[in-house]
Chains A and B, each alone.
Chain A
Amino acid sequence: MIWAYAICDHPDAPLPRRRGLAHAPLEGIAVNGLLAVVSRHTQAPGDPALDALWTHERVVERLMVDRTVLPLRFGTKLPDADSVRSTLTARYDEFMAALDRVRGRVELGVRAMEPPREDGVPPAAIAATPARVARTGRDYLLEKLAHEQRNEHGAAALHEPLSAVAVASRRGRLQSDDEVLRAAYLVERADVARFRALVERLQHQHPELAVLCTGPWPPYSFVAVPQAGAMAGSAAT
C-alpha cells in the first residue's frame, strides 16, 4: 500500500532525502503539474502514535521549504500508484486552485486559555460547581452564561485584530472549558513576524489569558476543499 503525505507543485524538483514512516524512502507520483509525495509499505504504518505524527509532519514541513504543499490528512492510504494518479487526475483543477490559494503563505495556530488560579482550581471548574458560586439553579445558569459571554468577548478581542493581519482565518471548536479561543490563520510568509509581534502585544493587553502561538504550519486548516470551514474539530459538528 501507499502512504501519502502531501500534494505539491514543482514535480521536477528533486525530493528531499528525509525518510517517511517506518524509515521508508519518499517517492513522487506526478500528474502534469502535480506531485503526490508518498512512501510504500507492505503493512499499514498508520498507528497515530506521537512519533508517527511528528514523522508525517516533518516530511510535510520539509517539502514546504522549497515548494507549495497541500498537506494530506494523517492516515491517507491508497492501494497503489495508479489509484494515486487517477485521484490526481480526477481532482486536478481543485488541487491546482488550492495550491494557488496557499502559495507563499503559512498557517499559524493561536490558542487562548484561562490559566489555572493560584489555588490550582481551573476557573471553569468553579463555574461548573453551583454550590460555590450561586444558591439556585437559575443563579448557576446566569453565572455560566456570564462566563461564556466573557470568554466570547475575550476571543473576539484576540481574533479580530489577528484576522486583520491574515489572508484567511478559521475558528475551531473549543476542546476544554478553560479554552477561550482556538483558531488558525493563513498568513503571508512576509507577515509572520508582524503576526507574532501582534500576538505578543495582545498577550500583554490581556494578562488574564494565556495566549499561545504555534507554527508556521503547513496550511492544514485551509485546504479542506469539500468540507469547507473545517478547521479541525469543527468538522465534527
Chain B
Amino acid sequence: MTQVAEPQGKRWVGGGILRKEDPELLTGQGRFVDDIALPGMLWLSFVRSPVAHANLARVDVDAAKDLPGVVAVFTGQDLADEWAAAMPCGWPIADRVMPDEPTADARVPDHWPVAKDRVRYMGEIVAVVAADSREHAADAVEAVEVDYDELPVVLDMEAALADDAPVIHEAFGDNRAYTWNLTNGEVDRVFAEAPVVVKERYYHPRLIPNPIEPRGVVVQPVPAQGELTIWSSTQIPHILRTLMALVMGIHEAKIRVIAPDVGGGFGSKLNFYAEEGIAVALARRLGRPVKWIEERTEGYLATIHGRDVIQDMEIAATEEGKTLGFRVKLLADMGAYWMLNTPGIPILGAWLYHGVYDARAYQFECTGVFTNKTPTDAYRGAGRPEATYAVERAMDALARRVGKDPAEIRELNFIPPFDQATEVASGLQFDSGNYAPTFQKAKELAGYDELRREQKASGGRRDGKLLGVGVSTYIEMCGLAPSQVLAAVKATAGGWEAATIRCHPTGKVTVVTGTSPHGQGHVTTWAQITADALGVDPDDVEVIHGDTEFSPTGLDTYGSRSISVGGTALYKAAEKIRAKARTIAAHELEVAEEDLEWKDGKFQVAGAPERAKTIPEIAFSAWTAHALPPDVEPGLFASAVWDPPNFTFPAGAHICVVEVDPDTGQVFIDKFVAVDDCGTVINPMIVDGQVMGGVAQGIAEALYEEALYDENGTLLTGNMSTYRVPSAAELPGFILDRTVTPSTTNPLGVKGIGEAGTIGSPPAVVNAVADALRPLGVENDQVEKPVSAERVWRTIQAAAGQAPAERVAEGGGTGAASMTPEGEGGLV
C-alpha cells in the first residue's frame, strides 16, 4: 500500500536509509556475468603475447583446431574482415585546445581487437579459441603455435622519446603520442620575477585497478534477426552499445547491452575491450552463445592500468610563501595503444594543478608517450589524483623553503570563499567553494596543533618511531560534463544524462536512469530523490538501469558524474511530472493552478490544506483519463535530459598521522582524517562509504601498489599475490566528517563523491612520511610513493650515508624498475 510518507518537515534526501540493493547481494542472489549460463554456450579463451614487442612470423592454429571440444580457432588475419572500424578512442585529444595553444600532433594508433602482424605489449591478443568448455578452450590455447620475431622494447618514457628509441608505431616516426598545453596568465614573467620558486619531480607508479569481480562478457546471438544480447561487466552499457554498433557495423537497434550486477569498476570497466568485440564477432560467426570470463592473472595484462605519469612541478611564490604561479610539465605513459580515454586521462587534471590555492599564472603541458606496456586509462580519480599529489607535495616543499608549517602555508593561500561560479588561476570557473573551514575541521579532528607540539617536544619521535603528520587538500573536477566543453577538448561524446519517471495507477513509481551503478547505490539514492520530489515512499520506487532495452538512453557512470548529472536529470523529470500533476490537480480541485502549493509531498489548496491531491492519486486519474482537463494527455510520465552548464568541484582536506619504524622502514598509520565537501548529501551512509573506499584505495596507492615490469616488458607484479591489494589487516580505520558547500551547477546542489577519497589521500600519506623522515635530513622529494618499507628503509639509509648508491625513490624511473615487488610489508 502506498503511503505518502512525508510527515511535516520530513525529507528522504539527507537520510541514511538502508540500501535497496542489498538483500539480493547479501544472500548470494546477485547476478553477475559469470552467473549466466546459456544452452549451447561456447567458452572463449585467448592466446596472448608473452613478449612485449614482436612481429608475428607465424600463428599456426591447426593443431589447436583438432583438439577435443574445440569449435573454432581464429587469428587476427582470420577476423580482419569482421571489423567495420578499429578499436575506438573516444577522446583523441585536441588539435587546438585554448586559443594560441596549438597541439596539432595527436596520433591515433592503429589498434585492432586481435593483432594482425605485430604485438606491442605483453598480453596483446594473438588468437582466440571457442570450445565447449573452459578446460577445452584452455587446452587449445596451449596448442596454438606462434613464432614471435622479437623487436627492441621501450618501457621508460624518457627513453622512448630519445632520438634512437625503438619506434612502437612506425607510421608516426617516433613515440610521441601528443602534446597538449594550457597557459593562463603571464607565466614566464611571474616565474622569472618570483622571489621563491620550488621545483620538484614526482612519479606516479602504474596501478592495476582490481575490482574484485574480473571482467567478463556473454553474447547471445539471434541469427535469423541479426540481433545480439550482450551481458558485460561494464560501467558503460550505453556507450558500449554505440561503440559495438560502430566497430561491428550493426544497427544499434539490433544490439541490447545488459550490465547486470557489476562487481566494481573504478574506471577499469569504462572501456570498449577487445574481448567484447571478439565475443560478438564469434557469436555472430558461429551462431552460438559465447562466454568469456577474465582470469585475474590475464586481467593484469589485458585490463587497462592507471597513472604512470612523471611530473615536473613548480610553484612560484613570495618570500612569505604566497603562491603566485603554478607550472607543470607531464610525461604520461599511454602504454602501447589508445583505449577509449587513454590520452584524455591526464587532461582531466589539466586545470587543477593549483589545487584550492590562489595564483595569477598557470601552465600545464603534457606529452603523451607510447611504450611497450598495457594501455593506461581511467583509474579512480583519473588525472585528478595526479594533479592533487603534485600540488600538495609541492606545497610542502614550499613550506619547507619559506620556513612555514604545512598547514599555515595552505591557510595562507586558500582561494577565498565564493558561492557563485568564480574563475580560478587555470581559467576554469569553480562552482562554489569554502576551503578554510573544511581544513580547520580536519585539523581539529586530527588534533593537529597537539601533534605538532608533540613532535617539537620529542624531536619527532614517539615510542622509538618517527612521528609524521601529513596534510592535503584537494579539488576535483566532477560531473562530466558540459557537452560543449567536451567538444572543445575533442571528446567524441557529450556529457548529458537522461532519466524517465513513470507514475503507475497503483501509486508505484518506476525510475529509469541512464547511469549504470556498480556499487554506488544509485537505486537507493535515486529513490530518495524521487520520494522527496513526488511525495512517495522510497520503497515504492523501482529504479531500472544497466539494460539498454529498458533504459535506451544514457551515458553511464564514471568521473563522479552520476549524482550531479544523472541525479539532476531525475530531478528535472520529476519537475515535469509535478507540472503536469499540478494541472490535473487544479482541474480536479476546481481551483486555479496558482492556488495550489506543493507542500508535505502533495498539492494543497492555499489556505485550505485539507483539500489536496497526492501524486499517486493524480497518477490514477491520469491513467483512467476519465476527466482530464482539456489538452492534457493521459498518463503521468516524463523524461528529462540534463546537460550540465559547468562541472562540479568537490573539495576536501585529508590529514594522515604516521609512525615510521626507523629500523625497518615500515609505515604505520596512526590516524587518518578525511573531511570532504561534496555539496548536498542525499544519503550520508552511502557518501561515507564512498569516501572510505576511496581513501582505502588512495592509501593503498601511497603505501603498497605499483605495477613493475622487467627490462623485457614482462609484468613482474603479474598476479594478485605479487601486486599488493591491501586487506583489512593492512589498512587503518578512518575518521570522517564533512562540510557542505552546495554546488551552483545544478539545482540539487550536489557535487559527487565517488573519487574524492582516492584523490585526497595519497599526498596526505606521503607528506606524513616525508615529515617523519625530515629530522633525518631526508629532502621532500626523496620520498616517493609507494612508501613501502623497502623504499623508506633505503631512503633512511641513503640519508644516513650508509646506503648503496641506488635510490629507488629517484623520480623518473618508469617501467624497467630495478626493485622487486615487496613481499612482507608493514602491517598498519
Q: Do A and B come from one complex?
A: no
Please list the residues of chain A having a beta carbon within 8 angstroms of any beta carbon in chain B.
none
